Structure 1
Amino acid sequence: MIVTFLGTGTSQGVPVIACGCEVCTSSDPRDNRLRSSILIEAGDRTVAIDSGPDFRYQMLRANVQRLDAVVYTHEHKDHVAGMDDIRAFNFKQQEPMNIYADARVQAALMREFPYVFAEFKYPGIPQVNIHPIGLEPFDIGSIHFIPIEVLHYKLPVLGFRINDFTYITDAKTVSPEEKEKIKGTKILVINALQTQSHISHFTLEEAIDFAQDIGAETTYFTHISHRLGKHADVEQELPPGIKLAYDGLQVSI
């Protein structure tokens, strides 16, 4: 299985519009972060987790030629706003896109993209097959997903464990029961927004504590704000086995 980090930034991305801070003006390409998303390639399936506002460019930049499904973590705009751009895959593959989403995400997609779900289908609109998900495991081809529920302040968000890989974004609280689902994973991806306290995201310190509690062989931090600091500087301060993810990073599992 190959995991590609399509985006590792928070809701505003990095650089932030009109910001002149040292991170937003950095010449290090690792400090340029699109909205958070990953691509999973395993067996004969290619699956994206989330389709944020940068989805079109992420697909072009990663040269994705086929996409079998999009799996959604939650309904916030930085995770769903690019869904319309699945149209290109509809046209190339001559089939609807498989969408895996819980009831809240489905309602948000219907609200944000009403023309997709309208009785009258205007020519050229995205074509989708909705697959409802919850906390029960599900399969996409040979890829086995175990949903993990975390809290983004008070909003439930789904993370996913796939074999020895776990991906969680927008977490502030993880219950002991859900944490048990993660234990034993070899590669963990978790959000680390910034150093300052935040109501709905792990801080860097909280993410480090969580990673050390899980004890994965390697942990990558994602959903990163410009307030966290420059990639090169932050990585020097991280404990062994913990790294910052960056756009374009590929991990083989």
Structure 2
Amino acid sequence: MISPLTITFLGTGTSQGVPVIGSDHPVCKSDNFKDKRLRVSVMLSWNEFNYVIDCGPDFRQQMLRENVQNVNGILLTHEHSDHTAGIDDIRPYYFKQGNIPFYAEKRVFDSLHKRFGYIFEIENKYPGAPTLDEIIIDKDSKFEVEGKKVTTVEAHHNNLPVLGFMIDGFVYLTDVKTISDSEIEKIKDCKILVVNALREHPHPSHFSLSEALEFIEKVNPSTAYLTHISHLMGFHDEVEEKLPNHVHLAYDGLKLKL
């Protein structure tokens, strides 16, 4: 029997994380754990399976914090470092389980081959390097993992295409600035929507808070959570009070059931 999803927010911060190194901003000095944000990532769990969306530079810390004993696959939204720089830290899982399946667009794998050449080396590969199973997907993909159906959703991060994922009425989108009406139709009336909201002021490649709220209204989910949050958004508790009743700020370590 396939169990319901457990969703764990591994990280909810921007590419710099919160606090930002060397920053004197009040949010960066906050004592509230909800204002401390690792790089953005989420884990989906059911039965004994764990699938992680994005593998950023805080991957090791996130896996230790959540005491994750196995990772059955990793889904990548796009190639930027805050979403991929933790790939080498899959080694303990590789040593324990064997090859780790990675799902990404071909363009993303091409980038990883350049940046992590030693991982993808075929001849004379360093014996301590992990091995990935490269599973190429695109904006029209529909596939199954451990009995769960996954549908991809395409958005744009400025001009860069990024993938989101829908599984069991849960939709995860990050680094979105624009998204077509046809892609919105795929996810309308979902149960839980997670989407990026960087700050209140506009940004060239991310939704602002008002843009995210407008997008949420179009999708009409039962509940929505905002992620990829900058320190410039403000204090978690103060922002949360201003949001519509069905919209919340996600925070690191938050767990949801679906």
Normalising TM by the smaller chain, what interval? over 0.9
Q: Superposition RMSD on alpha carbons, in Å? A: 0.8
User: 2:25 matched to 1:15?
Assistant: no
Q: Distance in 1 between matches of 2:228 and 2:103?
A: 21
Structure 2: stretches of 5+ with no match in the other structure: none
Deviations 1:161-211 (A, max 9, x none): 112100000001010000001102010000000011100000001111111
Q: Distance in 2 between matches of 1:97 and 1:77?
A: 19
One-letter amino acid of the structure 1 residue matched with residue 15 of structure 2: S
Please name the residue that 1:4 is paired with. Answer: 8
Report how far residue 63 of structure 1 moved: 0.5
**Matched residue SS, 1:47:** strand
Q: TM-score, normalised by structure 2?
A: 0.96
Q: Distance in 2 between matches of 1:117 and 1:239?
A: 46
Q: Distance in 1 between matches of 2:126 and 2:199?
A: 43
**Matched residue SS, 2:248:** strand
Please name the residue that 1:100 is paired with. Answer: 103
Q: Distance in 2 between matches of 1:139 and 1:106?
A: 20
One-letter amino acid of the structure 1 residue matched with residue 44 of structure 2: I
User: 2:117 matched to 1:122?
Assistant: no
Q: Distance in 2 between matches of 1:223 and 1:108?
A: 22
**Matched residue SS, 2:29:** coil
User: 2:55 matched to 1:51?
Assistant: yes
User: 2:28 matched to 1:31?
Assistant: no
**Matched residue SS, 1:196:** coil
One-letter amino acid of the structure 2 residue matched with residue 62 of structure 1: E
Q: TM-score, normalised by structure 1?
A: 0.98
Report how far residue 137 of structure 1 moved: 0.7
Please name the residue that 1:247 is paired with. Answer: 252
Please name the residue that 1:209 is paired with. Answer: 214
Report how far residue 45 of structure 1 moved: 2.1
User: 2:60 matched to 1:88?
Assistant: no
**Matched residue SS, 2:162:** strand
**Matched residue SS, 2:23:** coil
Deviations 1:84-123 (A, max 9, x none): 0110001122x11111111111011111110011122111
Deviations 1:109-141 (A, max 9, x none): 111110011122111101111111112111111
Choose the corresponding residue for 2:243, options 238, 247, 250.
Answer: 238
One-letter amino acid of the structure 1 residue matched with residue 8 of structure 2: T
**Matched residue SS, 1:108:** helix
Deviations 1:194-229 (A, max 9, x none): 011100000001111111221111100000000000
Which is further off, 127-136 or 144-153?
127-136
Matched length: 252
Q: Distance in 2 between matches of 1:148 and 1:2?
A: 21
Structure 1 stretches (4+) deviating beyond 6 angstroms?
none
Is the 8 Å Cα contact of residues 54 and 82 (structure 1) preserved in structure 2?
yes
One-letter amino acid of the structure 2 residue matched with residue 8 of structure 1: T
Is the 8 Å Cα contact of residues 57 and 83 (structure 2) preserved in structure 1?
yes
Report how far residue 47 of structure 1 moved: 0.4
Structure 1: stretches of 5+ with no match in the other structure: none
**Matched residue SS, 1:189:** strand
Please name the residue that 1:172 is paired with. Answer: 177
Please name the residue that 1:185 is paired with. Answer: 190
Is the 8 Å Cα contact of residues 189 and 222 (structure 2) preserved in structure 1?
no
One-letter amino acid of the structure 2 residue matched with residue 63 of structure 1: N
Report how far residue 42 of structure 1 moved: 1.9
One-letter amino acid of the structure 2 residue matched with residue 225 of structure 1: S
Is the 8 Å Cα contact of residues 73 and 101 (structure 2) preserved in structure 1?
yes
One-letter amino acid of the structure 2 residue matched with residue 106 of structure 1: F
Q: Distance in 2 between matches of 1:236 and 1:10?
A: 21
